[in-house]
Amino acid sequence: MTAETREFDYIVVGGGTAGVAIASRLSQYLPSAKIALLEAGPNAVDNPNVTNPNNFMHLIPEGIIVDYSTTPQEHCDNRQFPNFAGRMLSGASGVNVGVWMRASSTDYRLVAERAGNERFGFDNMVKYFKRAETHWDKEADPKFHGFDGPVHTVGGRKYPLREVVRESFEKMGHRYNPDGTKGDPTGLTDLTQCYRATSESSSERQHSGKVYDLTKVHIRCDAPVAKILLDSAKRTTGVELVSGERLHARKEVVVSCGAQKTPQILMLSGIGPPSELSKHDIPLRIDSPSVGQNLFDHSSLMQYFKLKHPERGLCLPFDGNMRPEYGQGFPWEFHLFSHIPPSELGPVLAQDDAGVGAAHPHLRDKRCHYLNIPMYFPILATPEYNPDIVMGDGKHVALTSLHLLPISRGTVTLQSANPSDNPVVDPRYFSTPTDRYILRRAVRTMLQLTETEPLASELDGETPPADPNFPPLTSKSSDEEIDKRIRGWAGTIYHAMGTCALGTVLDSEFRVKGAEGLRVCDASVFPEPIGAMPSHTVYALGELCADLVAGRV
């Protein structure tokens, strides 16, 4: 590269969900500025396994999904969890299952409180949610939905068991919520996914590197960054790549490498907890004790239930019932968001903190503590779990219980001072009684669903893990039996967040405290968990960050 091509006005480190949005919008809002976007992985936006939303598991052997495996988890039988992240232009948006949802207004209120600014509240964030999307339902409320954004969505599929599942949930007392994106997602709401229909029977993944305009951005793929460069006044001057090459930033650097990698890069740059940096002989530039702390993640338990009458084509491949639109997305249509009432959750929280009071964030109205998802195929089934379950066998459905608001907090620390080494990731899953209680309750909700008519007449019980230590679960199973299954088989859904949080590491404009010209915007900025899959919110945060960098707000 020439000296000219090594100098930019703005450098965005990390071409993931938020990073691409930021770089694209800066090139739009500041047309005379020179923008660089650096991505550690390849440009794989047209890889057929990326384009086809159902092929995401094939990306692991291709290296497009990187595994930041966790340390052994004490409360999960000392299992090490895979901890996947996207490593390509588009990042996580290029490898996830494309669920498009928003959290409750209460969750965004809590983020705003922690960040110290109302801009993160739901009422303000709505415009950024809308800016990112082209919503599939043109009849939806324009106050809450966008219709000309880069990310197209699909929805509205109706599967053979739809009314059976809905009636069973409603018999359990759960209301149908026709649009869970308006600030209160509680109840049974319909699935929306960020895929774009390419025909009446097919779709392609909508991911940031594919849908945002990057024609005026200088893109460097396969260009991992080792550290951020600061001068003696702690002004950000640029970045150093793992190759040793240096790029200069005249104005700002924005780091957007995800909750595992972003804190690692900051610490390798001398920004972080002094005790952690000293272990690896890294000179301290900015004392920021919260870098790499506050790690949290969504966890889940997957269960598989056998259909009594698979010949009726009730799940994938829907023999005799296949409709063209089923090819446009994952075969599920509903998810149930549940809020545990304070009268029930308060005493559990008191086990974590005897001084807990009514103001505890988990006790606020409309917070969704867990999510239940019926899926019309045995997603993630493997021979190791049970060789009798085969993906797309037409005989099994998957019922997934997700814990959305963990109390447990973990860490991302350094393995070494070598930027090519993975960081050490310790989420401390289920390290509190509250976390164990919430997922147990979510599993009980799902078990009750399977025993509620009319769905009960369609199912023939759980097909459990092949291990004889794990018998089938029912609604009559003890807490100990459910907890044992969780310890042995619960997993993550790869939503690591919180390690460079607003309010501690960052100010309310995403700026790293103590540095000049350095911001962070990705899933690491969440100060608290949100009760939703985070992709839509991460896009919206990227849109907001671009506004702030460009001086539009």
**Contacts with 142 (C-beta within 8 Å, 6 or more apart), sequence order:** none
In Å, what is the CA distance from 58 to each residue of 64, 135, 207? 9, 28, 17
What is each CA distance from 316 to 197, 355, 396, in whole angstroms?
19, 49, 9
In the chain, the amino acid numbered 437 is: Y
Strand partners, 272: 287
Given a contact cutoff of 8 angstroms between Cβ atoms, the answer to whether 506 and 71 are in contact is no
390 is in an annotated binding site: no
Does the annotation flag 242 for ligand binding?
Answer: no
Q: Which helix (H) or strand (E) holds 348?
A: helix 342-352
Q: Any known ligand binding at 156?
A: no
Cβ proximity of 37 and 279 under 8 Å:
no
Residue of 516, 275, 255 whose CA lies nearest to 411? 275
Residue 95, annotated as binding a ligand? no
φ, ψ (nearest 5 deg) of residue 526 = -60, 120
Binding site annotation covers 517? no
CB atoms within 10 A of CB 215: 7
User: Does residue 454 have a cis peptide bond before it, meaning omega lies within 30 degrees of 0?
Assistant: yes
Using an 8 Å Cβ cutoff, are 196 and 136 in contact? no
Compute the distance between CA of residue 374 and CA of residue 367 in angstroms, rounded to an integer: 21
375: three-class secondary structure by DSSP:
strand
Q: Please enumerate, by residue number, every residue annotated as part of a binding site.
A: 96-99, 225
Q: Please enumerate, by residue number, every residue annotated as part of a binding site for FAD.
A: 96-99, 225
